[in-house]
Amino acid sequence: MSKTIIDTSKMSEGQRAALEMAEDSRDTREISGFAGPLFLGEADFSRIAPFPAQSAKDKEEGDVFLKKLSDYLENHTDPDEIDRTGEIPDQVFKDLGEMGAFGIKIPKEYGGLGLSQTNYSRAAMILGAHCGNLTALLSAHQSIGVPQPLIVFGTEEQKKEYLPIFAKGGVSAFALTEEKVGSDPAKMETTATPTEDGEHFILNGEKLWCTNGLKACHIVVMAKTATPEKPYATTAFIVDVDWPGVEIVTRCHFMGLKALYNGVIRFTNVKIPRKNIVHQEGKGLKVALTTLNTGRLTLPAACAGLLKRCLDISLRWSSTREQWGAPIAKHAAIAGKIADLAADAFATEAMVLYVSALVDRDKKADIRIEAAMAKLWGTEAGWHGIDQTMQIKGGRGYETADSLKNRGEVPDPIERLMRDSRINTIFEGSTEIMKLFIAREALDPHLRRGAAAIDTRKPMSERIPAALKAGMHYSLWFPTRYIPFAKGIPSDMHPDLAKNLKMVAKWSRKLSRALFLAMAMNGPKLEKRQLLLGRYVDIAAELFAMSCACSQADFLLKSKDKEAENALSTVNYLCSRGDTRIETHFREAKDTKSEKSGYKLTQALTKNS
């Protein structure tokens, strides 16, 4: 999983390039925070409790905008009409622009609202419960479009030139994906070649699935800027769609998000000034990955809103719909689904608010694992939640809102919400890619310590001392992973919540032992055990969700918040369910027989297809 221990001599040129690009673009800081140490058996609950609640001042500032946004969405937008026509009305673009919805996080000095990450996440929750198309429009623009990269990496001149445009309602987009490029940018074919005087670059290529591309005034475009030293280097450029050579080839249409302004964009000899480089030449992938760390929070935030709406729909229906002499909520099969909805909604929101608070406290906070876990766990929970909501409502869930309304029934748009939300486990890093990303970061502390010892390319004179040093460390470290200890649990925490966190600590210690033994047994080949690593990541994500939920519940109980009434029972259920899930993951991790036979089957099938 690291270029420091993998023998690249047997790799193809493309494999080596992909590995080098990934490693060169990584955040090289040592893992910190709360989530990463879960893989090391070092759960420190003082990092997560007391819960970093939003300040009264920040909440009040956000409430003003959120009230405007919520009222406008409710009274002046029709998500079913948007879905039906595949278009967002021009008036909606105008109105959202005037209220500042395109500049939520843009600092006030550049014309934006200057709201916090927490308030932005709260806005995403409102949007996620209402309309997937509007969520995608505003999210793609602000999370991965031009504003976020400029806020993080832009020069003062770039900020002054472009941010006011977006604050007033200008739409932006992000262009990375190509026909042969998904999560592997080493295959990128779009190029930007410097002119002889070095003042401009000439951009050529074609980008696929550029969300907002049909409505954008400016796009962040990723292009290969090869040099002899780094033939696969990429650079991020700000491109004006009105420049000569920028062409929208076609609009793409999908299963859901019918009004997604997504298309294929071609660049033919587009002349870009050097001043339009974002960050540095050759650092484009770092811009993309850093932007995504924060941008990924939008998706679980939207899923938290979706899950709350699913819970509301399911509670209303199951308390009034009677079968076999009782409301269906009284039947265990339905009650279990509703409990899952409640637990998932609570945990997803807790994760989003926690990670958002980290960003608000320190713009340079290392949230790469926390954000990835929130995205992974929250989007999977969102998809499961809408699927179970459809199951609860049965035929009425499968029926369109228009058809329900025509028959005089409550037009719950479950069918639309399902179609629109399916993309969430794919957008901005699929579930599978998230697991590989988290696994790579989780292994990093061990790789830093023991890479030289297992690197067969190094001479024994280097490997033996490294092995002895690592051996001394792990001979002391490994036994301590058996010591029952939970650090940082507040002394005044509710006993049930404290008990849950002690369980988290127990599982974290077992996870650390399992991961270490997997490394010892597999060595560099561990990077190919993706199913095994995926199960370990699922365990850690479950522990992170449980921890955030416990801390949030503790805060609600102590503040006597109106949401505290069911918080304790919700979190107790979440942790009981998590305990069972983690047991299952560990059991499945030992099942190498089916893992190997499944892989062999697939290779045989692909060979003969």
Residues 6+ apart with CB under 8 A from 42: 487, 508, 512
Helix (H) or strand (E) holding 419: helix 414-421
Q: Shortest CA distance to 302 belongs to which of 115, 137, 89, 145? A: 137
Residue type for position 548: C
Helix (H) or strand (E) holding 386: helix 368-393
3-state secondary structure labels for all residues of 237-257: EEEECCCCCEEEEEECCCCCC
Residues 6+ apart with CB under 8 A from 466: 450, 451, 452, 453
Q: Shortest CA distance to 296 belongs to which of 359, 340, 239? A: 359
Instruction: Check if the beta carbon of residue 143 is closer than 8 Å to that of residue 175.
Output: no
Q: Shortest CA distance to 113 belongs to which of 98, 127, 129, 134? A: 98
Catalytic option among 178, 380, 415, 428: 428
Residue showing tokens 């406008």: 72
Q: How far apart are CA 193 and CA 224, in angstroms?
A: 8
Q: Please compute Rg for the chain using Cα positions.
A: 25
Q: How far apart are CA 461 and CA 452, in angstroms?
A: 11
Q: How far apart are CA 15 and CA 547, in angstroms?
A: 38
428 is catalytic: yes
Q: What is the DSSP string of 44-105?
A: BGGGTSS--PPPHHHHHHHHHHHHHHHHHHHHH--HHHHHHHT---HHHHHHHHHHTTT-SS
Q: How far apart are CA 392 and CA 385, in angstroms?
A: 10
Q: How far apart are CA 422 and CA 382, in angstroms?
A: 9
Residue type for position 608: N
Residues belonging to the active site:
428
